[in-house]
Amino acid sequence: MAHKGIIKRLSVLVGLALCLLLAPSLPANAQSTERSDGLEISPALVEVSADRGKSYVITITVRNVTNMPLTFDSSVDDFGAKDETGAPSILLESDKDLPTSIKTWIKSIPSFRLEANEKTTLNVTIFVPNDAEPGGHYGVIRFAGRTPGTNDAVGQIASAGTLILIDVEGEASEKLELSSLQITKNNKAGSIFESGPLTFVSRFKNTGSVHLKPVGQIEIRDSFGNNVEVIKVNSDKGNVLPGSIRRFESPFNKSWMFGRYTADMTIAYGTTGQAVTNTISFWVIPYKIIAVALAVLLTLIYILINAVKRYNKHIITKSHKRK
């Protein structure tokens, strides 16, 4: 049984590694749309795999969703992880020369005007310096709308941006650790639960020099070794930035369970399909149902015992009368 479990886990790891290695390696990967009051930006996120000394062009669409004309200005700022949800923390007016900054890599974008509900597509040039350090470099291209005739400090009514994640080729460090794996119900962690549904909460720490996507699954088995369910981890393929911890929640929606369960996590990440594995066990004991059933059973036993006593007493009394 142990050999079968090891072989099964290895097969899952190999499959995940192949998915990462054989996935299309496009220079840029764009995702989603960001919208704020009066302004819509697409995409919200662009990922670029870059070589030093080369230029790359990305396209950004800006839409004025107000009912008035706006003039748009742009700026490039650094950003990091705000919290464990993966939300970005934009470092406005940072006077520090961060080693991961791309503020000087992006060609300035002239101000432009959009009428109400008008949109435009911009070609933004990114030049990666010859001396750029291998690994992750990050920034956000922000667009701010203002009413025509006002300056940057007055009349600004909208602001949104596109996050840029650049992976510069070279000997980058890809290191990811599983900080914790917990099971929660109603945001309370535990190992014994009354019922489902439950949530698996995994926290990954990036100790390397490039952003990483931990993707994989959790296989849940009952006390007899039967497969109950397989749930995905990081199905949205979110990134963990260097020096940060990111939390991923994987819902396990099965309601009725009983007994001991084992969950095997298998995660792959990085360009060579590195692996993270972990196993956690938990119990599901519907103690309220058990308590009610036990109370009913004890009541029935009490009634039965009293009925037998009354019957025996009746038989004895009847026997004495015959004498």
Domain holding 197: CATH number?
2.60.40.10
Residue 199: inside a domain: yes
Render 23-49 in DSSP notation, one character per residue.
S---SEEEE--EEETTEEEE-SEEEEE
Q: 104 with 6, same domain?
A: no
Q: 180 with 97, same domain?
A: no
Q: 221 with 273, same domain?
A: yes
Residue 26: inside a domain: no
Q: How far apart are CA 265 and CA 233, in angstroms?
A: 9
Q: 130 with 210, same domain?
A: no
Q: 81 with 159, same domain?
A: yes
**What's the burial of 1, exposed, middle or buried (CB within 10 Å: 0-12/13-18/19+)?**
exposed
Q: 135 with 79, same domain?
A: yes
Residue 27: inside a domain: no
Report the pLDDT value the prediction gives residue 103, as an integer from 0 to 100: 93
Averaged pLDDT, 75-97 = 84
Q: 122 with 232, same domain?
A: no
**Band of residue 306 on the pLDDT scale cut at 50, 70, 90:** confident
Question: Range of 206's domain?
Answer: 2-21+175-284
Segment 246-290, tens digit of pLDDT: 999 999 999 999 999 999 999 999 999 899 999 999 999 988 877
Q: 89 with 139, same domain?
A: yes
Phi then psi dihedrals of residue 302, to 5 deg: -60, -45
Last residue of one domain, picked from the residues 168, 188, 221: 168
Report the pLDDT value the prediction gives residue 71, as an integer from 0 to 100: 92
Residue 70: inside a domain: yes
**Band of residue 178 on the pLDDT scale cut at 50, 70, 90:** very high
Averaged pLDDT, 186-201 = 96
Residues above pLDDT 70, as percent of the chain: 83
Q: 156 with 216, same domain?
A: no
**Band of residue 25 on the pLDDT scale cut at 50, 70, 90:** very low
Residue 205: inside a domain: yes
**Band of residue 158 on the pLDDT scale cut at 50, 70, 90:** low
Averaged pLDDT, 27-37 = 61
Averaged pLDDT, 42-63 = 96
Q: What tokens does 87 get?
A: 């939300």
Report the pLDDT value the prediction gives residue 36, as an integer from 0 to 100: 63
Split into its structural domains, the chain has a count of 3
Q: Indicate the pTM of the whole model.
A: 0.78
Residue 251: inside a domain: yes
